[in-house]
Structure 1
Amino acid sequence: MSSFEHAIDADLLADILSVSKTTVSQWEKSGKITAILDTTGHKRYALESLQSFDVVRQMLESTWNQEILIKPVRPFSSIELFAGAGGLAVGLEKAGFQAVALNEWDKHACNTLRTNRPHWNILEGDIQQIDFKIFKGIDFISGGFPCQAFSYAGKQLGFEDTRGTLFFEFARAIKETQPKVFLGENVRGLLEHDQGKTLATIRAVIADLGYSLIEPKVLKAIFYQVPQKRERLMLVGIRNDVLKYAKFTWPALCQRIFVLRDALKAGALYPQDVPDSVGQQYPARKAEIFKFVPQGGYWRDLPDELQREYMQGSYFLGGGKTGMARRLAWNTPSLTLTCSPAQKQTERCHPEEHRPLTVREYARIQTFPDDWAFSGPISSQYKQIGNAVPVNLGFAMGRSLIALLNSIESKIEVSKAEIKNPEACEVVQLGLFDKKCA
């Protein structure tokens, strides 16, 4: 194997290790890591030489190619709450889940879901008005409930304490349907939200409902074939009566990190360049100023007179304001997409052209398929995409959840067989897929 097959530049190494490029440079100077020069004279770092870093070792020893083959042992039914434009739903569908209902209140997002999946049962409207008891016995529930503060004074951190929040509705759906497994996803900030009290309440509620919570984990999308630096907190719960049968592992890391070029150009992620689509535009003067922003740069890379013109009063304030006049770069993953690529505080400019990313470019970075159409005005389309779970992240997480349900299902069937004929049953371990009786 060539030294360059798994070699990456300093920017990508910084993303993988969650450190700054300056830190990478300091490590090289101190001898902690060693660079090699490629044929063009640019510094690269061979992953094989970085196995002292746990995340690099996980990439090199990954079982990703085996996990891609995971299939459900039977059809697993699912419900998704707060479904948005369907990023998580499409990923879970690819993994093998069969949705019996999806709830979303935004009319444009609901139209997006109906347009692309006419057979899906879309429950449009306020989740508080939905009776989930008709879905009792469902296999799985998922949802990205918005994180809201709870009231703690004199409370016992139980189910009723969360009333009035959307997490209460997520918990109510679990209580009324009793799925074997559920997935809650959220921003990583939920871990420290309200000094940890919010997550403590969530843990208490899950326990009250008769479920065990796997220790929550933040997944970085770049490790799951998503060309974007997005992070999501995942909460997996397993119903206590099937817990003894359950085998769960978090998804393996992909051995390759995809970058913006992979999203917008033909290659391993997509067979052709990104299609043309609608998109917002900058005013003429703003587009002129962006001509001076290099790839990967932002307002501080402008000449001082343009910094003052662009930032105006903010020029004299503290803070980095790194989202302002921000241009993406071809050779690194995209910054986390926002709900508006043209808004001054959260700009996402094309790496070469002097304009915001288009709707289709946004969708590519979130790994939506090119035939997934978005409904509503442009502003709503950007918002739907920006708020979505990346499809490929949902797919990776979905495979782990399918494997979990496979382990539960197979062991339950073995237990039934043992009861019927305990002497004839031989349990054979078959990895993530399971058992058979002789």
Structure 2
Amino acid sequence: MKKTIYNNAFTRFTDKEFDEKYALISHAIQLGDTINAKKYRDILKENGIDASDLPSAELFNKDNKIVLVPKRNKFTFIDLFAGIGGFRIAMQNLGGQCVFSSEWDEPAKETYFRNYGEVPFGDITIPATKALIPDNFDVLCAGFPCQPFSNAGLKKGIEDTRGTLFYHIAEILRDHQPKAVLLENVRGLISNDKGKTIQTVLRTITGMGYTCNVPQELIDNGPVSKLKEECAKMVLCAKDYGVPQNRPRIYIVLWKKDLDIKEFLYPETENTKTKVSSILEKNVPDTFTISDKLWAGHQRRKLEHEEKGNGFGYCLFNGDSEYTSTISRRYYKDGSEILIEQPGKNPRKLTPREAANLQGFPKEFKLPDSNTKAYQQFGNSVAVPVVEKVSEQIVKQILEV
């Protein structure tokens, strides 16, 4: 029974009923001899699984060839809407220990387990999932979907966010009160619903005892135009931090008011030039070269857009390009946003490993078996080096005060 649970049963997740038990077991193993591990072991015991002699994380990770494990623990964090763990890599590199992870997408959970030896818990909107979060942790990390709030501004509290996924982040912050919060989203969050969405996000969190770089008066009363100007200062682009990709994202950092921190200093822009060649593989198979039909379609659509006076269409790059455009979750469809030139051939798509490189994932990161899933997962991820730069400042300015 135990060998099946520890080894074979983790290879693929198809049994929904047993899925949370995978998460409980793997969390208990990775957290070792801690209070949080005991919580998960007790729950397993209540559900008829003897977890009294789970293997150590070192042995388990060695047997399963897991490579990305923290070497030291300075602080704790939780990984919500975890995807494939971009936040986790950044935080672990700085000495953080992940005490809870949550992700609903099954293929992403498989990739997560392959690399961290941990199965994320499922849907964070379910109260039973929230109940598994440890009582205390230092940082909440989340890249949450951008949704407008239909009744924003009516009550000026957490109730404004009901019906959205952000509401569940707000609930967790209200109930657990970690020292710091790191949220990542598309730059468009600032203008979503004419600025009301970002105002509601900040008003909700600051109303629970947190603060950020945006003045509280703007958060509470606007004007929204000025609020949006302040929020734009939180936008960082991957190409400015060693990643050859034009990927602007907003990184919202908040901290408990009782820490008496006046301002969060975002990492300075790096002056080093990037090159697309740094992420490209050599001897790429011809299977990644796009077909004559697809290439003709790309060129036709681009010409049509140009005639209409807009800039839509495919984007072509080579090794000497400083950076690419933004890779998205839909990259698997036709690769139009990032095509690589090839002498004497049609251009090609990025390989899955190049997609991982473009998001700053380490070389040893294990890819999913499906190319389509790989493109979806990396296109939906954070740029790891940018998150790590922001997280360095969080550790220095908030956690070590």
Q: TM-score, normalised by structure 2?
A: 0.70
- Cross-structure match for 1:219: 236
- Cross-structure match for 2:275: 259
Is contact 1:91-1:395 (8 Å) kept? yes
- Cross-structure match for 1:364: 357
- Cross-structure match for 1:283: 291
Is contact 1:259-1:332 (8 Å) kept? yes
SS across alignment from 2:102: strand
For 1:385 and 1:200, the matched residues in 2 are separated by 29
- Cross-structure match for 1:167: 166
What do residues 172-201 of structure 1 show as CA deviations (whole Å, max 9, x unaligned)? 111121101111111111111111111111
- Cross-structure match for 2:62: none
State the Cα distance separating 1:96 from its structure 2 match. 2.2
- Cross-structure match for 1:103: 102
State the Cα distance separating 1:348 from its structure 2 match. 1.7
For 1:90 and 1:333, the matched residues in 2 are separated by 23
Following TM superposition, the consecutive aligned residue runs of length 4 or more in structure 1 with deviations greater than 6 angstroms are none
Larger RCO (alpha carbons 8 Å, 6+ apart)? 1
**Residue type matched to 2:340 in 1?**
H
Count of matched residue pairs: 308
What do residues 149-184 of structure 1 show as CA deviations (whole Å, max 9, x unaligned)? 101278223101111101101111111211011111
The 5 Å alignment of 1:233-382 reads 233-242=250-259, 244=260, 248-264=264-280, 273=281, 282-287=290-295, 289=296, 307=299, 310-311=300-301, 314=304, 318-322=308-312, 324-330=313-319, 331-341=321-331, 343=333, 346-352=336-342, 354-375=347-368, 377-382=370-375
1:386 paired with 2:379, answer yes
Is contact 1:340-1:379 (8 Å) kept? no
Instruction: Note closer, same or farther for the CA distance 1:316–1:377 as it changes in structure 2 (3 Å cut).
Output: same
For 2:339 and 2:303, the matched residues in 1 are separated by 22
For 2:287 and 2:190, the matched residues in 1 are separated by 35
For 1:137 and 1:246, the matched residues in 2 are separated by 24
User: Which deviates further from its counterpart, 144-153 or 274-283?
Assistant: 274-283
What do residues 76-131 of structure 1 show as CA deviations (whole Å, max 9, x unaligned)? 0000111111222212221222111111111111111100110x362133433422
**Percentage of matched positions with identical amino acids:** 29
State the Cα distance separating 1:281 from its structure 2 match. 5.0
Is contact 1:282-1:356 (8 Å) kept? yes
Q: TM-score, normalised by structure 1?
A: 0.64
SS across alignment from 1:219: strand
What do residues 370-420 of structure 1 show as CA deviations (whole Å, max 9, x unaligned)? 221232532221010001111111111111111123433xxxxxxxxxxxx
1:404 paired with 2:394, answer no
SS across alignment from 2:167: helix
SS across alignment from 2:394: helix
Larger Rg: 1
Instruction: Note closer, same or farther for the CA distance 1:406–1:329 as it changes in structure 2 (3 Å cut).
Output: same
For 2:334 and 2:141, the matched residues in 1 are separated by 34
What do residues 29-66 of structure 1 show as CA deviations (whole Å, max 9, x unaligned)? xxxxxxxxxxxxxxxxxxxxxxxxxxxxxxxxxxxxxx
For 1:167 and 1:358, the matched residues in 2 are separated by 33
**Residue type matched to 1:127 in 2?**
T
Instruction: Note closer, same or farther for the CA distance 1:393–1:84 as it changes in structure 2 (3 Å cut).
Output: same
- Cross-structure match for 1:47: none
Is contact 2:186-2:249 (8 Å) kept? yes
The 5 Å alignment of 1:59-78 reads 75-78=74-77
Is contact 1:326-1:348 (8 Å) kept? yes
**Residue type matched to 1:367 in 2?**
G
1:203 paired with 2:193, answer no
**Residue type matched to 1:174 in 2?**
L
For 2:183 and 2:88, the matched residues in 1 are separated by 13
- Cross-structure match for 2:57: none
Gaps of 5+ in 1: 1-71, 265-272, 291-298, 300-306, 409-438
1:82 paired with 2:81, answer yes
The 5 Å alignment of 1:14-53 reads none
- Cross-structure match for 1:123: 121
For 1:378 and 1:345, the matched residues in 2 are separated by 12
For 1:172 and 1:316, the matched residues in 2 are separated by 47
Is contact 2:244-2:358 (8 Å) kept? yes
Gaps of 5+ in 2: 1-70, 215-230
For 1:391 and 1:184, the matched residues in 2 are separated by 14
Is contact 1:104-1:122 (8 Å) kept? yes
Instruction: Note closer, same or farther for the CA distance 1:181–1:73 as it changes in structure 2 (3 Å cut).
Output: farther
Is contact 1:278-1:378 (8 Å) kept? no
Is contact 2:261-2:398 (8 Å) kept? no
For 2:386 and 2:153, the matched residues in 1 are separated by 39
